[in-house]
Chain A
Amino acid sequence: MKKIISFLCGLFLMAQTAFGASDPAVEFVNKLADDVIENVLASPAPMTEKLTLFREKFQSALDLKYIGQFVLGVYWRTADQAQRDAFLKAFMDFTTKSWADKFNMYTGQKIVFKGAQNAQKGQIFVNSTVQNNPPADVVWRLREKDGQYKIVDIIVEGVSMAMSYRNEYAAFLQSNNGNLNKLTQTLNEKSAAFKFSDEKK
């Protein structure tokens, strides 16, 4: 009898760990982070090559169209199709470069994953800590699209990327009479101004 109980307990524990280890959302972000760190950030390849790789991985992992619509908020609804397309194109290019610029500060920190939680509308939060000094909490918000996970927000130390862009663009549009074309144009100018060099800071 004892043996059976301990066997059952063991089975239960195994199932638990197996479930914990294979949480598909955590797995997705973990794999992505390992891939980007190993093949882009820590890679000795020249900057132009790394930038192309980063663009590819960043744009397939993030749902930038979805984020782009969210960050425009009410202005998305009033924009016509041409304006929407132009903004999304500018926003995708700009965020990719801006985050490549951010990740350029990476100096070998490790990421520890702490599991997943449910968000509204079937979305998922994946919790992690970047082992910096001091450590930084990073939450990844995922959405399932065609059976695949896409990142729709990255929350670093309580600061949500999507919410920050949305606040910033609302402020920009308010002071520019809601002129979306002006925002798109400014994003394109900002994108063009990013400079990436092989010089290590």
Chain B
Amino acid sequence: MKVKLLTLLFLSSAFLLSACACNQPTEEPDETLQTNDPYESFNRGVFAFNMLFDTAVLKPVAEGYRAVTTPVMREGVSNFYKNLKETRNIANGALQGNAEKTGNAAKRLLANTFWGFFGFYDVASDMQIPAYDNDFGQTLAVWGWENSDTYIVLPFFGSSNPRDIGGTIGDFATPPGLFIALTTPWTSYPLSIGNYVQQREQSIEFIENLHRSSTDFYATVRTMTQQNRQKVINEALGKTSSDAVSDYNFDMDFGDIDE
């Protein structure tokens, strides 16, 4: 008993010491610059390829899609894809053991499929059923893979990290990715490409603004996608808003500010 208690004490003091070490200010405190990008030159190469593909193919197609559709039509298409993704939300809600998220996603799927003309109209939101964007990367985080911030840029898929690469693969193995893959190529390709295009259409102005506003587009996209994903993961882990706020509670003071 005595030995056990001693071990416990020793372990806890070791833990405390290591915790202290973490909180010690380093020589140059720069917690905001933890980009964790060991493969930067490789990533920049893939990023350049993605940009080239975007300029040459994706953006022109998205603009063409915008030219031949009305906003109401586009909203219908966007709702249709969101409704398909409710199957993913149900699957991941269940895998995470989250009854509330699973239930709401199932309600949304039923309401929108039957009363919303196969999802083209979002009646579920009118009925105040909350929507979540769940994916297998979030499931992996809930299962314990909480921290994964090594930056990796994937061709076509863009910003990711080891956990979320697992997530992307998992998304192909769960609905709707699974259903879509099981249909004929005549259905699966247009469906997948259509989604890619309609999503790109929604961010035409946003990405143009980012281009105009950035001095290093790769670095801008890297930090923004990392920060945004962290928020999504925090929410999936059920961290309250005060926890989320502590993530932004970095020190902005240098102590030598010119007023």
Contact = CB atoms under 8 A, between A and B. Distances in A.
Contact of A164 (B133, B212, B227): B227
Given A74-B30, A158-B230, A134 B133 contact: yes
Given A168-B219, A170-B33, A172-B219, A121 B214 contact: no
Interface in A141-161: 141, 143, 145, 152-153, 155, 157-160
Contacts of B229: 158
Interface in B238-253: 241-242, 244-245, 247-253
Contact of A119 (B205, B234, B249): B249
Interface string B120-159: 0000010000010100000000000000000000000000
B35 A167 contact: yes
Given A105-B209, A168-B216, A139 B131 contact: no
Given A74-B30, A166-B32, A167-B33, A193 B212 contact: yes
Contacts of B244: 158
B257 A66 contact: yes
A69 B212 contact: no
Contacts of B228: 157-159
Chain A interface bracket (under 10, 10 to 19, 20 to 34, 35 or more): 35 or more
Contacts of A145: 259
A3 interface: no
B64 to A, nearest CB: 17
Contacts of A153: 248, 252
A158 B227 contact: yes
A170 to B, nearest CB: 6
Interface string A72-84: 0110110000001
A197 interface: no
Given A105-B209, A201-B205, A168 B245 contact: no
Given A66-B257, A158-B228, A170-B33, A121 B251 contact: yes
A194 interface: yes
A175 interface: yes
B247 to A, nearest CB: 8
Chain B interface bracket (under 10, 10 to 19, 20 to 34, 35 or more): 35 or more
B213 interface: yes
Contact of B215 (A77, A143, A168): A168
Given A141-B248, A163-B227, A117 B242 contact: yes
A174 to B, nearest CB: 9
B35 A139 contact: no
Contacts of A120: 249, 251
Contacts of A159: 223-224, 227-228, 231
Contacts of A69: 254, 257-258
A36 interface: no
A37 interface: no
A59 interface: no
Contact of B216 (A65, A137, A152, A172): A172
B193 interface: no
Interface in B81-137: 125, 131, 133
A166 B213 contact: no
Interface centre among B28, B32, B241 (most CB of A within 10 A): B32
Contacts of A167: 32-33, 35, 219-220, 222-223
Interface of B: 28, 30, 32-33, 35, 125, 131, 133, 205-206, 209, 212-216, 218-220, 222-224, 227-232, 234, 241-242, 244-245, 247-254, 256-259
30 contacts: A69-B258, A73-B32, A76-B254, A102-B209, A102-B213, A105-B206, A117-B241, A121-B253, A123-B252, A125-B245, A127-B241, A127-B245, A133-B125, A139-B248, A141-B252, A152-B252, A158-B231, A159-B227, A159-B228, A160-B248, A163-B248, A164-B220, A164-B223, A164-B224, A166-B33, A169-B215, A175-B216, A186-B215, A187-B215, A194-B212
4 smallest beta-carbon distances between A and B, as pairs? A158-B231, A171-B219, A167-B223, A98-B213
Given A102-B209, A194-B212, 16 more contacts: A65-B259, A67-B252, A69-B258, A74-B30, A98-B213, A105-B205, A117-B241, A125-B249, A127-B241, A133-B125, A153-B252, A163-B32, A164-B227, A167-B35, A171-B219, A190-B215
